[in-house]
């Protein structure tokens, strides 16, 4: 297990002591060492698993999942990660209710956490709400723990909020590290995070925001491209700019897909709704204005339809570095002529990258497991080193 040893060596050189008994909200709230530690623990867990060695750290315990939006891959990634560490998943299904007021969050958070070690939440639908809700939950269980209601504070894993999608962006980054042979090899690589046309509307901003907020940390040239009117949150652009400055990379915004693709080593073409549209939608939902929502939907679809040329075609791929940029997507993609008439990506491009795309997704369970591991294990390197002896399957 050379991979394990390599990961442990790096891990021992990092300072991530504050992650113990902490939570994972946004990548840019974590230090470089903490981000790096998450990658290394994920790699170590993958190495153990691939050698059929169990990285179980719990003898019992629950992981509570709250999906306030649909999910397949994140749901299964979370279930996989928890199972790998020895936790049973208990889903909390609150129905499609409006974001509950503070009091009820406080009560509910405690009532579902009696033996919870982890709470995973997806709440990405409403601007200004999702991340706030996660903090309310964490505050509630922190109080509950202090008051003797809960005998431990469960750790929160942000499974996508209105601002960031850290399990996705971290999995994407780990995929790049794996693909380019090390985090140091990301330096100077150009990634085009670009808007793409989709016949549906209102896709969350958390993926593009997560990507520009994370990949700017590694000295990469991060280019964000979208049509006018599809702006992301200005705060996150500021994060990206600051990261780029600190890491010696760059963060650039352009107005065409072609500019973004030019010379790119990596492309990430994906539909999203603009920040301002999301804000309007949140306000309409808050007022229960269904007619307003319908009108907005119509307006946004018309706006989208003006940008059908924002597609990741074979021609555009040729603009990239040697025509061989690595294509990324969080999946599922809107594939032209396959899942829709006109979409984000040409079928031939998508097909060519199928294996790397699935591999990209396969890092997510390990990223989630690493986030939990670092919050729950005081001395991660020692524990990972000690795990070598234990077989996952009790019998071969």
Q: How far apart are CA 305 and CA 199, in angstroms?
A: 8
CB of 378 to its own copies, least distance (A): 6
Place of tokens 């330096």: 187
**Which 321-340 residues touch its own copies, going by CB under 8 A?**
331-332, 335, 338-339
CB 292 within 8 A of CB 228: no
CB closer to its own copies, 61 vs 210: 61
CB closer to its own copies, 76 vs 276: 76
Nearest by Cα to 116 from 75, 61, 67, 157: 61
Q: Which residues contact 52 (CB under 8 A, 6 or more apart)?
A: 391, 392, 393, 396
Tell whether residue 388 is a contact of its own copies (CB under 8 A): no
CB closer to its own copies, 73 vs 187: 73
CB of 314 to its own copies, least distance (A): 18
CB closer to its own copies, 90 vs 255: 90
CB 227 within 8 A of CB 221: no
Tell whether residue 390 is a contact of its own copies (CB under 8 A): yes
Residue 33 buriedness (CB in 10 A; 0-12 / 13-18 / 19+)? middle
Q: How far apart are CA 175 and CA 116, in angstroms?
A: 30
CB closer to its own copies, 88 vs 305: 88
Angle, helices 73-85/166-180, rounded to nearest 10 degrees: 80
Residues that bind its own copies (rule: CB under 8 A) add up to a total of 70
DSSP state of 340: B
Quote the radius of gyration of the chain (alpha carbons, Å): 21
Tell whether residue 19 is a contact of its own copies (CB under 8 A): no
* Cα–Cα distances in angstroms (integers) from residue 265 to residues 177, 191, 240, 326, 377, in the given order: 13, 6, 19, 6, 37
CB of 340 to its own copies, least distance (A): 12
Q: How far apart are CA 329 and CA 81, in angstroms?
A: 21
Q: Which window, 23-31, 143-151, 269-277, 284-292, contacts its own copies (CB under 8 A)?
A: 143-151
CB closer to its own copies, 62 vs 137: 62
Tell whether residue 151 is a contact of its own copies (CB under 8 A): yes
Q: Which residues contact 48 (CB under 8 A, 6 or more apart)?
A: 1, 4, 54, 55, 384, 387, 388
Angle at Cα 11 formed by Cα 6 and Cα 17, nearest 5°?
170
Q: Which residues contact 133 (CB under 8 A, 6 or more apart)?
A: 68, 99, 105, 121, 123, 161
Helix (H) or strand (E) holding 315: helix 314-318
Q: 63: which 2 tokens?
A: 């992981």
**Which 39-58 residues touch its own copies, going by CB under 8 A?**
46, 49-50, 54, 56-58
Tell whether residue 110 is a contact of its own copies (CB under 8 A): yes
Q: Which window, 146-154, 196-204, 236-244, 298-306, contacts its own copies (CB under 8 A)?
A: 146-154
CB of 128 to its own copies, least distance (A): 23
CB closer to its own copies, 295 vs 331: 331
Tell whether residue 104 is a contact of its own copies (CB under 8 A): yes
CB of 112 to its own copies, least distance (A): 5
CB of 27 to its own copies, least distance (A): 22
Angle at Cα 266 formed by Cα 352 and Cα 7, nearest 5°?
100
**Which 340-379 residues touch its own copies, going by CB under 8 A?**
354-355, 358-359, 361-362, 364-365, 376-379
CB of 325 to its own copies, least distance (A): 19
Tell whether residue 150 is a contact of its own copies (CB under 8 A): yes
From candidates 13, 17, 90, 255, binder to its own copies by CB under 8 A: 90
Q: How far apart are the first and last CA of the chain?
A: 19
From candidates 27, 61, 191, 367, binder to its own copies by CB under 8 A: 61
CB of 395 to its own copies, least distance (A): 4
Q: How far apart are CA 169 and CA 239, in angstroms?
A: 15
CB closer to its own copies, 125 vs 368: 368
What is the binding site for its own copies (CB under 8 A)? 46, 49-50, 54, 56-62, 64, 72-73, 76-77, 79-80, 83-86, 88-90, 92, 101, 103-104, 106-108, 110-112, 114-115, 144, 147-151, 331-332, 335, 338-339, 354-355, 358-359, 361-362, 364-365, 376-379, 383, 386-387, 390-396
């Amino acid at each position: 297990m050379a991979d394990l040893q390599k990961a442990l060596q790096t891990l021992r050189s990092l300072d991530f002591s504050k992650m113990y008994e902490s939570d994972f909200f946004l990548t840019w709230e974590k230090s470089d060492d903490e981000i790096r530690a998450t990658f290394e623990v994920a790699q170590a867990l993958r190495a153990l698993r691939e050698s059929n060695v169990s990285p179980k750290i719990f003898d019992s315990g629950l992981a509570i999942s709250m999906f306030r939006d649909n999910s397949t891959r994140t749901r299964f990634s979370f279930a996989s990660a928890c199972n790998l560490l020895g936790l049973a998943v208990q889903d909390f299904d609150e129905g499609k209710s409006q974001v509950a007021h503070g009091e009820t969050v406080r009560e509910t958070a405690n009532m579902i956490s009696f033996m919870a070690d982890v709470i995973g939440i997806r709440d990405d639908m409403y601007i200004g709400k999702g991340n706030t809700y996660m903090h309310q939950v964490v505050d509630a269980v922190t109080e509950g723990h202090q008051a003797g209601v809960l005998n431990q504070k469960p750790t929160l894993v942000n499974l996508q909020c209105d601002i960031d999608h850290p399990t996705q962006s971290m999995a994407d980054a780990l995929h790049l590290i794996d693909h380019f042979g090390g985090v140091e090899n990301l330096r100077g690589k150009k990634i085009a995070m670009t808007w793409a046309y989709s016949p549906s509307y209102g896709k969350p901003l958390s993926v593009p925001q997560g990507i520009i907020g994370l990949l700017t940390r590694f000295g990469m040239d991060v280019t964000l491209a979208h049509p006018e009117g599809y702006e992301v949150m200005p705060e996150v652009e500021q994060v990206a700019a600051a990261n780029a400055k600190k890491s010696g990379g760059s963060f650039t915004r352009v107005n065409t897909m072609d500019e973004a693709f030019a010379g790119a080593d990596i492309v990430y073409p994906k539909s999203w709704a603009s920040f301002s549209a999301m804000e309007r939608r949140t306000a309409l939902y808050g007022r229960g204005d269904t007619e307003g929502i319908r009108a907005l939907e119509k307006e946004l679809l018309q706006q989208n339809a003006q940008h059908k040329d924002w597609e990741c075609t074979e021609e555009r791929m040729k603009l990239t570095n040697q025509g061989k940029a690595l294509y990324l997507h969080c999946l599922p993609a809107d594939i032209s002529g396959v899942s829709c008439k006109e979409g984000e990506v040409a079928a031939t491009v998508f097909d060519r990258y199928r294996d790397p795309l699935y591999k990209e997704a396969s890092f997510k369970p390990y990223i989630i497991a690493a986030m939990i591991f670092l919050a729950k294990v005081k001395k991660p390197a020692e524990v990972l080193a000690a795990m070598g002896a234990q077989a996952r399957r009790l019998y071969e």
